[in-house]
Amino acid sequence: MKNIFSHQLITLRRRKKLSQNDLAGKLYVSRQSVSKWENGETEPGIDKLISLAEILGVDLDFLLLGKENINDLIIKISNLKKSFASPVLNGVNLNIYGKDRIALLGSNGAGKSTFTKIIYGELTPDSGSIESYIDSRDALNVMPQDDVLMGDLTVTEHIQLAALIDRVYSTGFIDQMIRKFRLEKQQGTFVSKLSGGQKRRLSLLLALLRESKLLILDEPTVGMDLNSIDFFWRYLDHVGGCVITVTHDFNQIDKYFSRILLLKDGKIAQDVSVDKIHSHNQTIEQWYRQHNDGEGQA
């Protein structure tokens, strides 16, 4: 157990961007204690292990053994097929776990949006199955590729309406979200008059009003300015549950994801942890170019 735990601790601490000192402070122990755990010299007691799992946002099994807890399986996808004029998905198999941070990559037209739309129920597959172990009505939040917004409401009215539907309405909370997403100046503006990037920020805000077990984001940063993109990825880091993001934003994905899926030729051609890519001294962009030789040809 010791080696796996030490490795997990170092990996998960770095992923959370915590120094040994930061972690020690949160656990009320000395930095030397954390260092000894990471060197495999000593092990924390059970109370500290439980706190560690909480701080690092993982199950105890995952912290100790490096394995996803099968009880944490939220979606099992088997042999999924979908064709339009020609086949798009041609037998996709995938297990999705509650703590996954997935970047779904692939060329234009590879079928990423089709795949996510099937997961959140906007499209039906031709064949195959999706077993969901979460109550998708309450546990699923989606930010689709195209903003689905009501142009004749003001920003505030839109957020109020969505908050009522999501049963999270409170004026304090709505004000706070408007501030966080830097839409104060646009509060009274009709949604149809917002810029593309402002619409994207509003869509993201709406997708994050309530907590979810699964958050699906389809090219969320397209059209955002650099400040908004930075804000977006930082915010995402604090969102709980599983996140699946379709993105081409290679500047950021090294930091925020744990698992990379490559959709190619209608299948999940690659399913690999970010740590594994980094352990080969590759960035995700380099890895992607190596494995997706059809990139740019679609």
Ligand X SMILES: Nc1ncnc2c1ncn2[C@@H]1O[C@H](COP(=O)(O)OP(=O)(O)OP(=O)(O)O)[C@@H](O)[C@H]1O
The count of chain residues that interact with ligand X, using the rule CB under 6 A, is 10
Choice between 119 and 183, CB closer to ligand X: 119
Range 72-111, binding ligand X (CB under 6 A): 84, 88, 106, 108-111
Pick 106 or 125: Cβ nearer ligand X: 106
Q: Which is nearer to ligand X, 63 or 94 (CB)?
A: 94
3-class secondary structure per residue, the chain? CHHHHHHHHHHHHHHCCCCHHHHHHHHCCCHHHHHHHHHCCCCCCHHHHHHHHHHHCCCHHHHHHCCCCHHHEEEEEEEEEEECCCEEEEEEEEEEECCCEEEEECCCCCCHHHHHHHHCCCCCCCEEEEEECCCHHHHEEEECCCCCCCCCCEHHHHHHHHHHHCCCCCHHHHHHHHHHCCCHHHCCCEHHHCCHHHHHHHHHHHHCCCCCCEEEEECCCCCCCHHHHHHHHHHHHCCCCEEEEECCCHHHHHHHCCEEEEEECCEEEEEEEHHHHHHCCCCHHHHHHHHCCCCCCC
Q: Which is nearer to ligand X, 46 or 298 (CB)?
A: 298
Q: Which is nearer to ligand X, 111 or 220 (CB)?
A: 111
Closest separation in Å from C-beta 84 to ligand X: 3
CB of 104 to ligand X, least distance (A): 9
Rule CB under 6 A: say whether 294 interacts with ligand X. no
State in angstroms the smallest separation of the CB of 111 from ligand X. Answer: 4
Judged by CB under 6 A, does residue 141 bind ligand X?
A: no
Residue 50: CB minimum distance to ligand X, A: 40
Among residues 33, 114, 221, 252, which is the contact residue for ligand X, using CB under 6 A? 114
Among 33, 113, 186, 245, binds ligand X (CB under 6 A): 113
The yes or no reply on residue 247 touching ligand X (CB under 6 A) is: no
Q: How far is the CB of 266 from ligand X (least distance, A)?
A: 10
Q: Are strands 140-143 and 87-97 parallel, antiparallel or unpaired?
A: unpaired
Determine if 216 is a binding residue for ligand X (CB under 6 A): no
Verify binding: residue 144, ligand X, rule CB under 6 A: no
The smaller minimum CB distance to ligand X, of residues 88 and 242, is found at 88
Cβ contacts of 177 within 8 Å, gap of 6 or more: 159, 205, 208, 209
Q: At closest approach, how far in Å is the CB of 88 from ligand X?
A: 4
CB of 80 to ligand X, least distance (A): 13
Q: How far apart are CA 213 and CA 100, in angstroms?
A: 10
Distance, CA of 104 to CA of 88 (rounded, Å): 15
Least distance from C-beta 268 to ligand X, angstroms? 13
Rg of the chain in Å (alpha carbons): 20
Given 15, 99, 101, 112, the residue binding ligand X (CB under 6 A): 112
Of the two residues 162 and 217, which places its CB atom closer to ligand X in the complex? 217
Task: Please report, as ranges, the residues that interact with ligand X according to CB under 6 A.
Answer: 84, 88, 106, 108-114
